[in-house]
Every structure is written in structure tokens, then in C-alpha cells.
Structure 1
Amino acid sequence: MKTEEKPDIAWRVIGGLVGLGTAWAAKKVLGIAWVKITGKEPPIDTDSDEVGMAEAIGYAVLMGVGMQVAQIVVNKTAKKRYLAWKALKTPTR
């Protein structure tokens, strides 16, 4: 059985900060996209009687898929760059 290596502490910190930044930026960008597409502000309370079922589901789908795609792209890119940087810092024998 193959055991995976634990990520080092630097990557844990960097990954956490990248995740927070990505989530914040993606929420802002997706909110702007929602306004451009629908002409309305994003629904804050999707349980409200003022928000229709289709609008609530559409917003949930946009946010869920958009946030996940942003996290995947940014995390993979950040990890690739981090490992490349770490390889430059590691002396070769």
C-alpha cells in the first residue's frame, strides 16, 4: 500500500492563503457575472419568498461550479509553481 507524503508546513500555509484569496475573488467575480447576466443583484437569502426557485437554483449552480473550478485551477497552478520554486531551492547532490 502506497502512503502519500504529508505536505510541508510552508505549502499548508500557502495553500490555505491561496484558498482564502481564491474564494473571495471568485465570489466577487461570480457576483459581477450574475449582475451582468440577470440584471439583478445576487440573492442574499435564497430562502426568501422574494427569490424564485429557478433564481435560487441558478445562483447555487453558478456559485458552486464557479467556486470549485476556480479552486481547482488556482490550487493546481499554485502547487505547480511552489514545487518548481522548491526544486530550485533544494540543492542537488
Structure 2
Amino acid sequence: MAKDSSKVWSVFSLAAALGGAAVARKALDAGWKAGTGKQPPENPADPDVQIWEAVAWAATTGAAVALVRMLAQRKAANYYLKSTGELPPPLRKDTPLNA
């Protein structure tokens, strides 16, 4: 059962993280356009993108996507806990890191 629940958690956690990242990206795009009046840079590494814009976009998206991903995974862990009565296998205190 532990192997199955670990796989279920992996899929559940991944789906939550990807969904959260997609929502964050849409919100960031809209916020960038509202704040700057321009579309966000498609590729910050492009030399035609001003360096301040590339750095601001990379820092903003990196931090926001990481934060939303973490929050989505925490929400998924809480749902898993309520559904099964225990934490997902990787979050259990007695689970070795390489299990």
C-alpha cells in the first residue's frame, strides 16, 4: 500500500504544482501588463529585452511560481491527510528521505 500511496501522492502533488504554476503565470502576465503597459518578455535572455526588464521579470516569475507551487502542494497535502488520515509518504516524519 505504501508504494501505491506514494505514487498517488506524486501524481497529486505534481498536478497541484503544475496547476498552481499555470494560474500564477496567468496572474503575473496580467499584472505585468497592467503595471508596465507592455506584454511580459517572452524570453528574458533575448538581447533585445532591456536588462532591467529581464531581471525584474525573472525575479518576479521565479518567486511567484515557487510560492504558488509550495502553497498548492501544501493544500494537496492537507487534502491527502483529510482523505487518508495520514500525511503523504514523503512528508511523514518517520519516512527516510530516499524511500
- TM normalised by structure 2 equals 0.74
- How far, CA to CA, are the matches of 2:72 and 2:41 in structure 1? 26
Runs of 4+ in 1 over 2 A off after TM superposition: 47-50
C-alpha displacement at 1:17, in angstroms? 1.1
Show the 5 A alignment for 1:8-87: 8-87=6-85
Aligned residues: 84
Q: Secondary structure at the match of 2:85?
A: helix
TM-score (norm 1): 0.79
Consecutive unaligned residues of structure 1, counting only runs of 5 or more, are 89-93
Q: Is the 8 A contact 2:18 2:69 kept in 1?
A: no
Tell me the CA shift for residue 48 of structure 1. 2.7
Structure 2: stretches of 5+ with no match in the other structure: 87-99
Which has the higher Rg, Structure 1 or Structure 2?
Answer: 1
Report the secondary structure of 2:62's partner residue. helix
What RMSD, in angstroms, separates the aligned Cα atoms of the two structures?
2.0
Q: Name the residue aligned to 1:91.
A: none
Cα displacement string for residues 47-91 of structure 1 (whole angstroms, at most 9, x for unaligned residues): 334311111000001100100110111111111121111119xxx
